[in-house]
């Protein structure tokens, strides 16, 4: 073999060896050296008709899907996965309210969600709060689905919701999605209850503690009283406390939990004081009254009460969303609230001023419930049924750094 032939053979042998080395190196690269899968919209059809969204994410999340080592050793596939959305729906009467939730069960805000409802059409989340309301529906079964939206995985199957045209006075499940804390609203605009009894007080108003063998003495409080030393309150002779759970906003109608509710509830109970709660209403119909009652039940959780759950019905300065209700509607709102809390085993009650009972309610329609009246005079002159009397808003109690409402109860609580 001549030298030229030898050189050619050596060159070919070297190239073949280099190729074999390259192939071995490629086959044994570490997972980090493999190119990562890129996030692709699951709604643009780019994965082809034979690969469903479910199948796609199944293999992307399966660390053992690929195994080219022959040893059972998995190769990790890195990927970027879009967050998945979920739907939760409630229906009270002739309506559907839909919540768009993330994987943690929180409402997703700030997105242009569109909801498709069979036989009704498409509805947009106009205020981008993750809640879409479908009103004025006939009774029947509806199927709802979320339209595709860039950056999210929407539910594959539509959700069935049954709508009735008869109001049921039962607690609404998942009402918690509608409850806000005060950091989320403009408190000055929304918490605007006006105490008419104070405006109608005269110089016979008593601001001292009233005690007798026939009645119990108590107070009612809200966030306006701030921090309370409940043991000092108990030591001052307070036997019961009616604590504000929350209110519906006078303007936007949001359900809001009082910022001191749980602190006051636990503090009073720990001190051995008997407890009831109240909720300031701005409901404009019975459906909203059921929502308000359901919100209070949700806020209470597993806590029990000694005194009733009261609906606080009074004005909101003339501009409140419920200020213009007629007597029949307002009375029905109060009754719906009480029926709903009683469906859960609580006692229902109504709070209003003397003139509010006279002029804005059909008081006799509410006599099956505990009647709590506000009247700041020396001797109560209200002629209707009377179970509890708030006789001043200018009381002073040890453990509270502000003026506080004082009450007496004529009902017997075990």
Q: Give pLDDT, residue 214.
A: 93
Please say if the pLDDT value at position 32 is more than 70.
no
d(Cα 267, Cα 272) in Å, to the nearest integer?
A: 9
Query: Looking at the domain assignment, is residue 387 inside a domain?
Result: yes
- Residue 39: which pLDDT band, with cuts at 50, 70 and 90? very low
CATH code assigned at 109: 2.60.40.10
CATH code assigned at 402: 3.20.20.80
d(Cα 306, Cα 311) in Å, to the nearest integer?
A: 16
DSSP string, 128-174: -SSEEEE-SPPSEEEEEEEPP-TTSBPPSSPEEEEE-SS---SPPTT
- Beta 131-134 vs 140-146: how paired, if at all? unpaired
d(Cα 48, Cα 384) in Å, to the nearest integer?
A: 74
Q: Which of 163, 191, 219 is the last residue of a domain?
A: 163
Please say if the pLDDT value at position 237 is more than 70.
yes
Tell me, yes or no, whether 56 and 90 share the same domain.
no
Please say if the pLDDT value at position 296 is more than 80.
yes
d(Cα 154, Cα 83) in Å, to the nearest integer?
A: 9
340-367: average pLDDT: 98
Spatial contact of 310 and 275, defined as CB atoms under 8 Å apart = no
Query: Looking at the domain assignment, is residue 290 inside a domain?
Result: yes
Percent above pLDDT 70 for the chain: 80
Tell me, yes or no, whether 56 and 137 share the same domain.
no
Please say if the pLDDT value at position 60 is more than 50.
no
Angle between helices 327-342 and 286-300 in degrees, nearest 10: 30
Please say if the pLDDT value at position 50 is more than 70.
no
Query: Looking at the domain assignment, is residue 258 inside a domain?
Result: yes
- Residue 80: which pLDDT band, with cuts at 50, 70 and 90? low
342-362: average pLDDT: 97
Q: Give pLDDT, residue 412.
A: 84
Partners of 97 in the beta sheet?
90, 133
Tell me the pLDDT tens digit for each residue of 83-141.
Answer: 999 999 999 999 999 999 999 999 999 999 999 999 999 999 999 999 999 999 999 99
Spatial contact of 85 and 111, defined as CB atoms under 8 Å apart = no
- Residue 200: which pLDDT band, with cuts at 50, 70 and 90? confident
Q: Which structural domain range is residue 113 located in?
A: 86-163
Between 203 and 20, the more confident residue is 203
**How many domains in the chain?**
3
Between 96 and 79, the more confident residue is 96
190-205: average pLDDT: 93
d(Cα 233, Cα 220) in Å, to the nearest integer?
A: 12
d(Cα 194, Cα 120) in Å, to the nearest integer?
A: 41
- Residue 375: which pLDDT band, with cuts at 50, 70 and 90? very high
Which tokens go with 373? Answer: 């009246």
Looking up tokens 């030591």 gives 235
Residues 6+ apart with CB under 8 A from 390: 197, 220, 351, 372, 373, 374, 375, 405, 406, 407
304-312: average pLDDT: 98
Tell me, yes or no, whether 113 and 150 share the same domain.
yes
Please say if the pLDDT value at position 2 is more than 60.
no
| H or E element, residue 55 | helix 53-60
Q: Give pLDDT, residue 21.
A: 44
Tell me, yes or no, whether 349 and 388 share the same domain.
yes
54-83 burial, b for 16+ CB within 10 Å, e for fewer? eebbeebeeeeeeeeeeeeeeeebeeeebe
Between 246 and 77, the more confident residue is 246
Tell me, yes or no, whether 193 and 315 share the same domain.
yes
CA angle, residues 205, 210, 214, in degrees to nearest 5: 125
Tell me, yes or no, whether 194 and 241 share the same domain.
yes
Query: Looking at the domain assignment, is residue 135 inside a domain?
Result: yes
Tell me, yes or no, whether 151 and 187 share the same domain.
no
Tell me, yes or no, whether 103 and 29 share the same domain.
no
Strand order in the sheet with 96-101: 86-90, 96-101, 131-134
d(Cα 291, Cα 143) in Å, to the nearest integer?
A: 23
Query: Looking at the domain assignment, is residue 386 inside a domain?
Result: yes
Tell me, yes or no, whether 136 and 188 share the same domain.
no
d(Cα 406, Cα 206) in Å, to the nearest integer?
A: 10
Cα 236–chain centre separation: 36
148-168: average pLDDT: 95
Tell me, yes or no, whether 243 and 317 share the same domain.
yes
Average pLDDT, the chain: 85
């Amino acid at each position: 073999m001549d030298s030229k032939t030898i050189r050619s053979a050596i060159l070919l042998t070297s190239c073949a060896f280099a190729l074999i080395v390259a192939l071995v190196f490629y086959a044994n690269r570490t997972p980090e050296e493999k190119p990562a899968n890129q996030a692709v919209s699951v709604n643009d059809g780019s994965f082809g008709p034979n690969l469903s969204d479910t199948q796609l994410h199944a293999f992307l999340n399966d660390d053992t899907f690929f195994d080219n080592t022959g040893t059972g050793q998995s190769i990790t596939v890195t990927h970027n996965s879009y967050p998945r959305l979920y739907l939760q729906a409630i229906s009270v009467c002739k309506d559907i309210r839909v919540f768009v939730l993330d994987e943690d069960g929180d409402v997703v805000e700030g997105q242009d969600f569109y909801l498709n409802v069979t036989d009704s059409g498409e509805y947009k989340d106009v205020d981008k709060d993750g809640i879409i309301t479908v009103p004025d529906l006939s009774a029947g079964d509806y199927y709802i689905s979320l339209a595709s939206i860039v950056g999210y995985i929407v539910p594959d199957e539509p959700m069935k919701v049954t709508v009735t045209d008869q109001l049921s006075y039962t607690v609404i499940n998942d009402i918690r999605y509608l409850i806000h804390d005060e950091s989320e609203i403009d408190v000055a605009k929304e918490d605007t209850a006006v105490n008419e009894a104070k405006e109608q007080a005269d110089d016979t108003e008593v601001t001292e503690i009233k005690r007798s063998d026939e009645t119990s003495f108590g107070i009612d409080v809200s966030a306006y009283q701030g921090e309370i030393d409940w043991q000092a309150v108990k030591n001052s002779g307070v036997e019961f406390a009616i604590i504000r759970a929350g209110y519906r906003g006078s303007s936007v109608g949001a359900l809001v939990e009082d910022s001191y509710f749980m602190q006051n509830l636990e503090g009073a109970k720990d001190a051995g004081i008997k407890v009831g709660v109240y909720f300031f209403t701005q409901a404009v119909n019975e459906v909203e009254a059921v929502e308000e009652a359901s919100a209070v039940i949700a806020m209470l959780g597993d806590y029990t009460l000694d005194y009733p759950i009261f609906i606080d019905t009074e004005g909101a300065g003339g501009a409140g969303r419920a200020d213009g209700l007629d007597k029949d509607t307002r009375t029905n709102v109060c009754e719906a609230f009480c029926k709903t809390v009683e469906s859960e085993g609580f006692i229902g009650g109504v709070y209003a001023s003397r003139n509010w009972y006279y002029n804005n309610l059909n008081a006799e329609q509410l006599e099956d419930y505990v009647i709590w009246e506000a009247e700041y005079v020396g001797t109560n002159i209200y002629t209707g049924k009377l179970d509890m009397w708030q006789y001043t808003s200018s009381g002073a109690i040890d453990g509270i750094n502000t003026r506080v409402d004082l009450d007496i109860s004529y009902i017997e609580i075990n």
